[in-house]
Amino acid sequence: MNGNEQTGPPAVGSVLNHRMLAMLRAVAAGRGRVTCSSEPDLFIDGLSCGDQFAAHALAHLGLIRPARPGLVGELVPATLTPAGEDIVTKAQRPAA
């Protein structure tokens, strides 16, 4: 190793694409719902999100979660975690 290698997991922001950021913004705006599951499905404006792989990734990265407990499979409001809120806030800032 020459000291230039990165160790540990990649930064969350480096694994997000524009679609995932749009999904986070929709949840922040109160437009998202998730199923209570180990692989939560995301719904935006009442429609199933077309990229459930990305929805699962957002949940597993700890960026979105159910806003309240529910039964397995129940559809409940989605909310951002503090980490998700931080990403949305940073994305809204104008580039320096």
pLDDT tens, position by position, 8-27: 344 555 679 999 999 999 99
* CA-wise closest residue to 40 among 69, 6, 2, 82: 69
Whether residue 40 contacts residue 60, with contact meaning beta carbons closer than 8 Å, is answered with: no
pTM of the full structure = 0.81
Question: What region, left, alpha or beta, does residue 86 occupy, with left being phi > 0 and alpha being psi -120 to 50 degrees?
Answer: alpha
Task: Provide the residue ranges of all domains of the chain, joining segments of one domain with +.
Answer: 15-92
Question: What's the pLDDT tens digit per position in 31-72?
Answer: 999 999 999 999 999 999 889 999 999 999 999 999 999 999
Query: In 6-72, at which residue ranges do the beta strands (DSSP E only) sit?
Result: 32-35, 42-44, 47-48, 64-66
